[in-house]
Structure 1
Amino acid sequence: MRCEIRHTTEYRYPRPAWDSFNQVRLHPSQETRQTVRSFHLHVAPDAEVTSHKDYFGAIVHHVHVHDPHTHLLIEAQAIVDTHPVPDPAAVTVGTLGALRGQHTEFLVASPRVPGGAWPELFGVTRPAAGDDLPSFLTDLNSQLYRQFTYDTQATTVSTPLAEFATHQRGVCQDFTHAMLGVARQLGIPARYVSGYLYSGGEMVGAEATHAWVECFVPGYGWLGLDPTNNCVAREKHVKIGHGREYSDVSPVRGTYYGGGQGRMDVAVHVYGDQ
């Protein structure tokens, strides 16, 4: 499937700002399940733009606007081909034991996914060592989808997981952090994925960058699961990058001098051609 993506971030300030510096994680990843055909980053006013790969392998652009400005536009355009991947073969939960040491960073607590009795808080039954891991993960994905309510007004980017656990209303970031908390407490390596979703009106979360989970399955690799839409991440999911949680892969964040209280507007458009 070919996906054309346009992601626009605009900042407006009541007074001139200067030395605006932004970290931009909007470049889709190049991997087995997707091929990046083109990527272009447009910035206005003129800016100094550099890039590097972060710890997890994502391409990060640094956008530095030196001169005073009251408006900043950062627009990313990409064309990505996504490819079908096979489903994992049956493998028991117990096979994870010998491999957990290779993925410790996706098992330990992090600021937005702290340690806690998340399986019990979300009513998840712990699997037995002989249970099939891929089946358990898809069942868990479905259980959380049914349990949570998608509500764009219920949470903010800084809402703690414990608060979401109480109200169980939120957006893809919250669904994803909850599934990460459950999986990690069960000893299943799990990482946060930031990307785009071509919904065609069938799924939620396409109005901005989307989030889902990748869980490690021995003999297969990382299986993408989207608890917000109760599905496996397939050709309609375009990955930007992964990390321990949202903070590791936030799309655009930065600082500036002056300007007063700025306003940020984000628009995401994903067009698909099957």
Structure 2
Amino acid sequence: MKLHIRHVTHYKFDTPVKRLIQSHRLTPADHEGQKVLEWSVSCEGAIRGSSFLSGAGDYTETVCVQGPAEDIEIVVEGTVETQDCAGVLRGHREKVLPSAYLRPTQQTQPDAAIRSLAETAVEGLDVSAGLDRAHALAAAVNDAIAYVSGETEPATTAAEALAGGKGVCQDHTHVLMSAARWVDMPARYVTGYLYSDANGQAHGESHAWAELYVDGLGWVGFDAANRCCPNDLYVRLGSGLDAQDAAPIRGLIEGQATEDLTAKVVVTDVAQQQ
């Protein structure tokens, strides 16, 4: 299918900032499951710096906004043709070894509860049955954490989310990654867009899911929040060791200011608009 995405991010500062520098990972890469037909990233008044394809296969660009600036708006818009590859990431150019994604981060450090969840989920499954083990881990996370907005914060750790039993896609993804790494399966955090969730409801935010490395298949996506593997309803942006590492926008400001961030995502099926 062809999906059109419009993603607007707005930063407002209580005091004008002297300068703002950001790193953008806002352009999806082509692979077997998606082909970018058109895409643009705009930020009024920004000076575009270097751009490159990272070792993980993500397009990255640096931008700078010279102040004084009270607010900035980043508009992402484009169309991507997608197809269902059963979650398997094929044809994606990258150089980072899967083993690099075995190390935990502060947000994905497993505690006793996560270790127990992981060991119980894969109990009785042979190590060679990598895909079965990955599905079992994703199902266990979905069973353990109810999808409820407003119960967690961006800084919530995997251990805290599991203990609370409620969370959003970031929390499901962190817990799944933490559990997978504990049983020696490389796992990474993926950011992107979702046309509709498991209930067929339009998704008005950016989305996140995990990719687990399965011997013989490579990287396979698992959306534990929706209890499925990514299909043609998904557009993949980039990846990292956790939500912070994979963030589509990261930046620094010069000056003392508090920011107010709002974001809106609209994903539409091009065929339904014609």
TM band (smaller chain): 0.7 to 0.9
Whole-angstrom distance in 1 between the partners of 2:70 and 2:36:
33
- Give the paired residue count: 261
TM-score by length of 2: 0.86
Tell me how far 1:126 sits from its aligned partner: 3.0
Aligned to 1:73: 73
Identity of aligned residues (%): 27
Q: Does 1:147 align with 2:144?
A: yes
Whole-angstrom distance in 2 between the partners of 1:188 and 1:72:
40
Contact 2:191–2:207 under 8 Å retained in 1: yes
Please give the per-residue CA displacement for 1:61-95, whole angstroms capped at 9, x wherever unaligned: 2221113121211111121111222577xxxxxxx
Tell me how far 1:116 sits from its aligned partner: 4.0
Whole-angstrom distance in 2 between the partners of 1:265 and 1:182:
31
Please show how residues 174-189 of structure 1 align to structure 2 within 5 Å: 174-189=171-186
Please give the per-residue CA displacement for 1:150-208, whole angstroms capped at 9, x wherever unaligned: 12211111112221121121111110010011111111122111111010783579332
Q: Secondary structure at the match of 2:184?
A: coil
Aligned to 1:25: 25
Matched AA of 1:43: C
Tell me how far 1:10 sits from its aligned partner: 0.6
Whole-angstrom distance in 1 between the partners of 2:108 and 2:202:
21
Aligned to 2:106: 111
Contact 2:145–2:172 under 8 Å retained in 1: yes
Aligned to 2:94: none
Relative to structure 2, which stretch is displaced further, 173-182 or 134-143? 134-143
Please give the per-residue CA displacement for 1:18-67, whole angstroms capped at 9, x wherever unaligned: 211112221112111111111111112x1101222334221112221113
Aligned to 1:36: 36
**Could you list the runs of 5+ residues in structure 2 that have no partner in the other structure?**
89-96
Relative to structure 2, which stretch is displaced further, 229-238 or 125-134? 125-134
Contact 1:38–1:80 under 8 Å retained in 2: yes
Please show how residues 38-187 of structure 1 align to structure 2 within 5 Å: 38-44=38-44, 46-50=45-49, 51-85=51-85, 103-117=98-112, 118-121=114-117, 123-129=120-126, 132-187=129-184
Q: CA RMSD in A?
A: 2.4
Whole-angstrom distance in 1 between the partners of 2:270 and 2:134:
29
185 and 201 in structure 1: CA distance in 2 versus 1, 3 angstrom threshold: closer
